[in-house]
Amino acid sequence: MAALSRRRFAAGLAATALPHGAAAQFVAERNKDGALAYASDEFAPLIDFRALVDHPVVIDAVDVLDHSDKTKFVRVRSKDGAQGVIIANKRLWHTYSLLDTLFRPVLLGKDARDIQRIFDLLFRVNYPRGYKYSSMPYFIIQGHIELAIMDMFGHMLGKSVAALAGEPKLGEVAVYMSRLSRDTSAEEEIDIAERYVVEAGAKAVKVKIGGRMRINADASPGRTEALVSGIRKRLGDDMVIYVDANGSYDAPTAIRVGRMLEDNGVAFYEEPCEWEDFEMTKQVADALEMPVAGGEQDTSLPKWRWMAEHGGVDILQPDIMYNGGFIRTMMVANIAKTFGRRIAPHYPRSGPETAPLMHFVASIDNFEGFMEYRADQNETDFDYEPIIKPVNGVIALPEGSGFGVQYDAKVLRTVEN
């Protein structure tokens, strides 16, 4: 039941770490004298769509499809009629003005095979220069568009998205049941978590601790310790337990809480301190034997490199939507691998929304443990196939082209925004 040792965790990865120059698309890498310099292959595509498709794929439309108050889709179509579709993240509701004003004018009429370079030029060089807007709201728009384009290329080629990135490394993905609630008592939360774990046959679970960005306050007095110790007692020594603090603590408090977590065999400690304060988080990571995880809000490739190189966290947690898409998150995985670190992507979704994440974790070889799966939200207000839900703790990678999800045609109607 002892927590996974941080030093043993790092030592076990050292043999798989690549030389510093091996990760494509580094923002910078260290020369032998220690100076940071741009990599020689800075603009080499991570997935060479021109090698996969021998003709231009001209982007004709980027649409937000309004299915209901609950559900929207993003669809990309080519002039030849190919299309890719992705279920929209709820944060698109508040950010898609950026799609209209920044992304769509740049993308229409462009060859989708050059999407990685198009995004890079929009961010660095071309007006209105995306770096002026750089943060999650910007990259979540890029993430929606890029994932829809990946789905489109998969359908065009009759391949899964995971196969576009190379030979898939997994045929099925083990999941942990992710709970998002802090408004329950410890006893209520233990009962709820147990129910979902048993229903899914899962071998791992994640619960919320602390008070979420409340500066050392618990969600309710004594809840965190009662929850962690109680869930260990209820679910037994073999259950893998993760916790997410959502930036609840300063470093001294996070370390004290971390000792309690280690005593209860917690496998990783997510976002103990405010996400922007990476020095504070590093202090926690350095003090504890248990691995510290984080990064769900992060979008900066140089910061990802810093965290991986300097041990700001032990496990990197990019979100494929928030971080700008599949390819950009593969860059983070490569950065992590170069420094002997692993990836446990943030993505508290369920059902068909998890398909992109499954294809992503099947495409990397430094995936950590279990994939996040939201425990309490498996129903949709639209028809799709195949049904995606965990059985005996695992979900099979959807078969078929693109992300492997087929939506009922009537839900994919265009509504002007």
Closest CA to 146 of 109, 120, 168, 172: 120
Same structural domain, 398 and 325: yes
What gap in Å lies between CA 264 and CA 241, rounded to an integer?
Answer: 9
Same structural domain, 259 and 357: yes
Same structural domain, 193 and 127: no
On average, the pLDDT of the chain sits at 91
Burial of 220 (0-12, 13-18, 19+ CB in 10 A): middle
Supply angle C-alpha 303, 22, 333, rounded to 5: 45
Task: Tell me the Cα Rg of the chain.
Answer: 21
**Domain contains 389:** yes
Closest CA to 296 of 304, 287, 288: 304
What gap in Å lies between CA 129 and CA 102, rounded to an integer?
Answer: 9
**Domain contains 332:** yes
Residue 1, pLDDT > 60, answer no
Overall average pLDDT of the 210-214 stretch: 96
Write the pLDDT tens digit of every residue in 256-280: 999 999 999 999 999 999 999 999 9
Same structural domain, 172 and 304: yes
CATH of the domain at 71: 3.30.390.10
Quick one: how many helices (H) and strands (E) in the chain? 15, 16
Q: Residues with Cβ < 8 Å from 193, sequence gap 6 or more?
A: 177, 179, 205, 207, 231, 235, 375
How far from 47 is each of 29, 37, 186, 210, 403, CA to CA, in Å? 21, 23, 46, 40, 16
Domain boundary among 101, 133, 157: 157
**Number of separate domains in the chain:** 2
Same structural domain, 286 and 189: yes
Same structural domain, 77 and 210: no
Write the pLDDT tens digit of every residue in 342-394: 999 999 999 999 999 999 999 999 999 899 999 987 789 999 999 999 999 99
Domain boundary among 123, 157, 191: 157
Overall average pLDDT of the 314-326 stretch: 97
| pLDDT band, very low/low/confident/very high, at 24 (cuts 50, 70, 90) | very low
**Domain contains 22:** no
pLDDT of residue 6: 53
Same structural domain, 335 and 253: yes
Same structural domain, 391 and 269: yes
Asked if residue 204 lies in contact with residue 394, where contact means CB atoms within 8 angstroms, the answer is no
Structural domain including 63 reads 49-157
Q: Comparing 93 with 344, which gets the higher pLDDT?
A: 344
Q: Residues with Cβ < 8 Å from 367, sequence gap 6 or more?
A: 169, 170, 342, 343, 344, 361
Same structural domain, 204 and 344: yes
pLDDT of residue 21: 34
pLDDT of residue 144: 98
**Domain contains 1:** no
Name the phi and psi angles at 235, rounded to 5: -95, -10
pLDDT of residue 208: 98
Structure tokens at 80: 């030849």
At 58, the amino acid letter reads V
Same structural domain, 151 and 189: no
β pairing state of 394-396 and 172-178: antiparallel
Domain boundary among 135, 157, 179: 157
Closest CA to 375 of 170, 207, 174, 247: 207
Residue 8, pLDDT > 50, answer no
pTM of the predicted structure, to 2 decimals: 0.92
